């Protein structure tokens, strides 16, 4: 640009030196109404504030302002990972299917994976597809580490990346919350032993806590399901919200909190002795009675907590039984502790040949199961000890057995915790009633152990030349889900209220008279003051009515709004307003720089 050009356009000269954006030169397509298919507040606001646009179910474009938030959240995540010694790399999104077939969870994971058919697939090749789109990266990082790291001297290592994941979710919904394609930070730690792995685990827990705090997001770390692993080295970072897909169980008195999938309560006393037999085992006819509720009704009147409920499941193709109290529900995730890769409820066709009866008349009294040899096990929930003597199906359609004593009569492989905890049950530690709330999972830390390292042969040699599998951990943060969780947690009737550190821009300078040179000049001055104090600034220079500008300002929710123009400008003042507050301050232009710089520095300090 020539010098004449600059001189005839006020403000252009300064523009060349600063990074602030003009609304007219970026693209923020705000909407007055929210599209009909957006159900929850955050999804509506992401669309209305012009942050994302939908391509298809679970597929979204990050619009310019949305992309800025993604980048800011990613950067905060990167800083906290780096601070704890994790090392960034980037792995391919497309994986050869062999990596998954050779791994420990192919049968469980294949349903969620998008498969990419190779051009030559089918021509005399194996039936399996050649490539899959990565839903996560254990199957890539473990073989990599196996070839690259062989000595204890090179451990510990924790590798992470921030990138796109692909999952064929059964029910993609709520915008970025459960998408088919989403951005995740995933990390994988490798250690010489359990003790060292726990150190790595705790570092990640600390990084996550710091990260979510910097995002302005209130999270609770809850104990999570570990499948067969057991122990408490799995925590999910949860954002309490009625629209969440998870339930968290917690007790304020003891500080206990766990995902419902893993939660236990203290309803069964630890020292509970088996009840003495109440009487002689007795069969009775129950024609047409196939539910707990029906047996509880007249003329039988057997209370649900005096009944045994027998469920048939298939675990990796083999049937197994779960016995609960009639009043209890199975928590399906708890079946993970049994070691099956895949499990599901059995169909009536699968049940009858094994049990000898249809659902509704099933039981586990010794000698009544038609084909016990077919079973992979009979697993009883601890709480059936509270029944002591009860009623169960006779494995003969239309018949039940009463005076069934747990210790004397039931055929059981082992006891475990399989029931779903209910609100109000006593916390195991404090005895106080447990509470349950909905929550959104934004992050997960997990001590994996040696499941992957053994399968892929990721071993190291110690100082005695002995070889051991590396002890691994994996750690995920949903970057795009976090973005939406922030909006879900921080909004009001008018729009988003961005926390300082993740706002697409932190300061919005609203020019009410963009045609007026004095207004435009003052806007630049305010923007420069904010920017020199470290803020990202957006100037609303659009030729829109003030009402439109204020509505949009509230909707896109930048933390600090400075308004220039109209009568105020003639009086030598501008307006200063935090998005989170209703208060509008009038500030003298003479005090602009000092006021703005102090405010920006204070906001950054608090964030
Ligand atoms: P969920 O139970 O919600 O399906 P997950 O247990 O499958 O989550 P992980 O495999 O542990 O999740 O992934 C790590 C993080 O990635 C999760 O904590 C979540 O924040 C995010 N995430 C997982 N699936 C999705 C998805 N479909 N869309 C957006 N984010 C997701
Ligand atoms: Mg999932």
Kindly give the distance from the C-alpha atom of residue 180 to the centroid of ligand 2, in angstroms, as a whole number.
10
Choose among 57, 488, 66: nearest CA to 238.
488
**Dist. CA 11–CA 456, nearest whole Å:** 62
Name which residue sits closest to atom 18 of ligand 1, judged by CA. Answer: 443
CB-ligand 1 contact for 568 (6 Å cutoff): no
Best mutation site among 476, 480, 486 for ligand 1 pocket (most ligand atoms within 8 Å of CB): 476
Residue 52, pLDDT > 90, answer: yes
Map residue 227 onto helix, strand or coil: coil
Counting atoms of ligand 1 from 1, which one is nearest the CA of 172?
27
- Cα 83 to Cα 79: distance, rounded to the nearest angstrom: 6
Q: Is 186 in the pocket of ligand 1 (CB under 6 A)?
A: no
pLDDT tens-digit readout, 514-560: 999 999 999 999 999 999 999 999 999 999 999 999 999 999 999 99
Give residue 108's pLDDT band: very low, low, confident or very high (50, 70, 90): confident
Beta carbon of 238 within 6 Å of any ligand 1 atom: no
- The stretch 155-179 carries a mean pLDDT of 97
Residue identifier of the C-alpha nearest atom 23 of ligand 1: 478
| Index of the ligand 1 atom closest to the CA of residue 176 | 29
pLDDT at 8: 43
Q: Which ligand is nearest to the CA of 444?
A: 1
Residue-level pLDDT at 123: 60
| E strands present in 112-180 | 115-116, 131-133, 157-166
168 lines ligand 1 (CB under 6 A): no
Closest ligand 1 atom to Cα of 446:
11
Residue of 222, 481, 487 with the most ligand 1 atoms within 8 Å of its CB, for mutation: 481
* Inter-CA distances, 512 with 20, 507, 519, 567, 591, Å: 18, 16, 8, 10, 20
CA of 265 to the centre of ligand 2 (A): 26
Please indicate whether residue 537, judged by its CB atom, sits closer than 6 Å to ligand 1: no
Q: How far apart are CA 295 and CA 287, in angstroms?
A: 10
Q: Which residues pair with 433 in a beta bridge?
A: 426
Mean pLDDT of 146-166: 98
Quote the percentage of the chain above a pLDDT of 70.
Answer: 94
Ligand 1: which atom is nearest the Cα of residue 236? 18
Substitution candidate for ligand 1 out of 178, 215, 478 with most atoms within 8 A of CB = 478
Residues 6+ positions from 381 with CB-CB distance below 8 Å: 322, 323, 324, 325, 328, 415, 416, 417, 418, 419
Nearest C-alpha neighbor of 165 from the set 69, 90, 93, 105: 93
Ligand 1 touching residue 444 (CB < 6 A)? yes
Residue 121 pLDDT level (bands cut at 50, 70, 90): low
Report the pLDDT value the prediction gives residue 117, as an integer from 0 to 100: 75
What mean pLDDT, rounded, does the chain reach?
94
| Helix runs in 84-193, H state only | 97-101, 106-109, 138-148
pLDDT of residue 292 exceeding 50? yes
- Taking the complete model, does pTM exceed 0.85, yes or no? yes
Query: What does the pLDDT read at residue 6?
Result: 41
* R_g over Cα of the chain: 30
Higher pLDDT, 159 or 9: 159
Cβ–ligand 1 contact at 419 (below 6 Å): no
Residue nearest to atom 19 of ligand 1 (CA): 478
Q: 485 CA distance to ligand 1 centroid (A)? A: 13
pLDDT tens for each residue of 5-30: 444 444 555 554 556 799 999 999 99
178 within ligand 1 shell (Cβ under 6 A): yes
Residue 84's contacts (CB-CB under 8 Å, 6 or more residues apart) are: 158, 203, 204, 206, 207
Specify whether the CB–CB gap between 513 and 574 falls below 8 A: no
Q: What does the pLDDT read at residue 75?
A: 98
Q: How far is the CA of 82 from the centre of ligand 2 (A)?
A: 26
Section 65-85 average pLDDT: 98
Q: Which ligand is nearest to the CA of 440?
A: 1
Atom of ligand 1 nearest to the CA of 441: 18
Question: Which pLDDT does position 120 carry in this prediction?
Answer: 58
pLDDT-derived band at 225 (thresholds 50, 70, 90) equals confident
List the residue whose alpha carbon is closest to atom 29 of ligand 1: 178
pLDDT score recorded for residue 231: 58
- Residue 112 alpha carbon to ligand 2 centre in Å: 9
Q: Is 441 in the pocket of ligand 1 (CB under 6 A)?
A: yes
279 in helix, strand or coil?
coil
pLDDT of 228: 63
Tell me the pLDDT tens digit for each residue of 234-269: 999 999 999 999 999 999 999 999 999 999 999 998
Alpha-carbon dihedral 222, 227, 231, 236, rounded to 10 degrees: -20
Cα–Cα dist 254/228, whole Å = 26
Nearest CA to ligand 1 atom 1: 441
Per-residue pLDDT tens over the stretch 451-495: 999 999 999 999 999 999 999 999 999 999 999 999 999 999 999
pLDDT at position 139 over 60: yes
Structure tokens at 245: 């897909």
Ligand 1 touching residue 478 (CB < 6 A): yes
Sign for the pseudo-dihedral over CA of 80, 82, 83, 85: positive
Cβ atoms of residues 470 and 449 within 8 Å: no
Pseudo-torsion of CA 217, 222, 227, 230, nearest 10°? Answer: 140
Atom 24 (ligand 1): residue with closest C-alpha? 178
Name the phi and psi angles at 440, rounded to 5: -105, 125
State yes or no: cis peptide before 18, omega within 30 of 0.
no
Our answer on whether the CB atom of 227 is closer than 6 Å to any ligand 1 atom is: no
Distance of CA 113 from the midpoint of ligand 1 (Å):
14
Task: Count how many residues are written for the chain.
Answer: 607
Share of the chain above pLDDT 90, in %: 90
For ligand 1, whether the C-beta of 443 sits within 6 Å is yes
Is the bond leading into 33 cis (omega within 30 degrees of zero)?
no
> Is the confidence at residue 122, as pLDDT, over 80?
no
Q: Other C-beta atoms within 10 Å of 159: how many?
A: 18
> What digits encode the pLDDT tens for the residues 278-291?
999 999 999 999 99
């Amino acid at each position: 640009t020539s010098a004449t050009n600059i001189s005839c356009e006020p403000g252009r000269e300064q523009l060349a030196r600063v990074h602030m954006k003009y609304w007219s030169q970026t693209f923020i397509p705000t909407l007055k109404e929210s599209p009909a298919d957006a159900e929850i507040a955050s999804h509506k606001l992401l669309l209305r504030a012009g942050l994302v646009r939908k391509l298809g179910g679970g597929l979204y474009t990050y619009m310019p302002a949305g992309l800025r938030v993604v980048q800011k959240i990613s950067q905060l995540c990167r800083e906290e990972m780096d601070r704890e010694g994790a090392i960034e790399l980037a792995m391919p999104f497309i994986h050869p299917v062999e990596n998954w077939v050779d791994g420990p969870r192919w049968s469980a994971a294949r349903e969620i994976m998008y498969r990419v058919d190779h051009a030559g697939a089918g021509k005399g090749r194996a039936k399996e597809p050649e490539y899959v789109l990565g839903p996560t990266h254990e199957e890539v990082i473990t073989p990599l580490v196996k070839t690259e790291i062989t000595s204890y001297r090179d451990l510990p290592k924790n590798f992470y990346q921030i990138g796109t994941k692909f999952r064929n979710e059964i029910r993609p919904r709520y915008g970025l919350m459960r998408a088919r394609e989403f951005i995740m930070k995933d990390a994988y730690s490798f250690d010489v032993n359990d003790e060292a792995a726990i150190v790595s685990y705790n570092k990640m827990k600390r990084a996550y806590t710091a990260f979510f705090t910097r995002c302005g997001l209130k999270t609770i770390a809850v104990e999570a399901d570990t499948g067969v692993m057991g122990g408490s080295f799995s925590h999910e970072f949860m954002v309490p919200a009625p629209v969440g897909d998870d339930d968290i169980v917690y007790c304020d008195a003891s500080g206990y909190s766990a995902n419902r999938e893993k939660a236990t309560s203290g309803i069964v006393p630890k020292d509970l002795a088996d009840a003495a037999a109440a009487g002689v085992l007795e069969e009775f006819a129950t024609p047409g009675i196939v539910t707990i509720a029906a047996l509880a009704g007249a003329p039988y009147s057997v209370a649900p907590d005096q009944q045994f409920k027998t469920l048939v499941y298939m675990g990796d193709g083999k049937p197994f039984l779960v016995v609960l109290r009639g009043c209890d529900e199975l928590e399906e995730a708890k079946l993970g502790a049994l070691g099956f890769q895949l499990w599901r409820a059995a169909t009536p066709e699968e049940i009858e040949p094994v049990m000898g009866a249809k659902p509704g008349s099933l039981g586990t009294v010794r000698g009544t199961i038609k084909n016990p040899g077919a079973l992979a096990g009979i697993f009883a929930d601890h709480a059936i000890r509270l029944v002591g003597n009860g009623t169960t199906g006779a494995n003969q359609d239309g018949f039940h057995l009463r005076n069934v004593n747990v210790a004397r009569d039931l055929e059981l492989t082992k006891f475990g915790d399989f029931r779903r905890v209910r609100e109000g049950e006593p916390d195991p530690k404090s005895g106080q009633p447990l509470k349950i709330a909905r929550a959104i999972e934004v992050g997960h830390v997990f001590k994996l152990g040696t499941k992957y390292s053994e399968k892929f042969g990721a071993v190291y040699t110690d100082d005695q030349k002995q070889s051991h599998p590396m002890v691994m951990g994996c750690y995920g943060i949903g970057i795009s889900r976090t973005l939406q969780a922030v909006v879900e947690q921080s909004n009001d009737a008018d729009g988003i209220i961005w926390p300082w550190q993740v706002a697409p821009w932190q300061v919005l300078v609203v020019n009410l008279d963009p045609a007026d040179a004095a207004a435009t000049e003052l806007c630049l001055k305010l923007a420069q003051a904010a920017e020199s104090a470290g803020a990202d600034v957006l100037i609303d220079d659009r030729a829109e009515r003030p009402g439109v500008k204020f509505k949009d300002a509230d909707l896109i929710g930048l933390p600090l709004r400075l308004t220039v123009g109209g009568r105020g400008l003639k009086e030598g003042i501008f307006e200063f307003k935090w998005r989170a507050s209703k208060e509008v301050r009038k500030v003298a232009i003479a005090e602009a720089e000092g006021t703005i710089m102090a405010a920006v520095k204070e906001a950054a300090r608090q964030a």
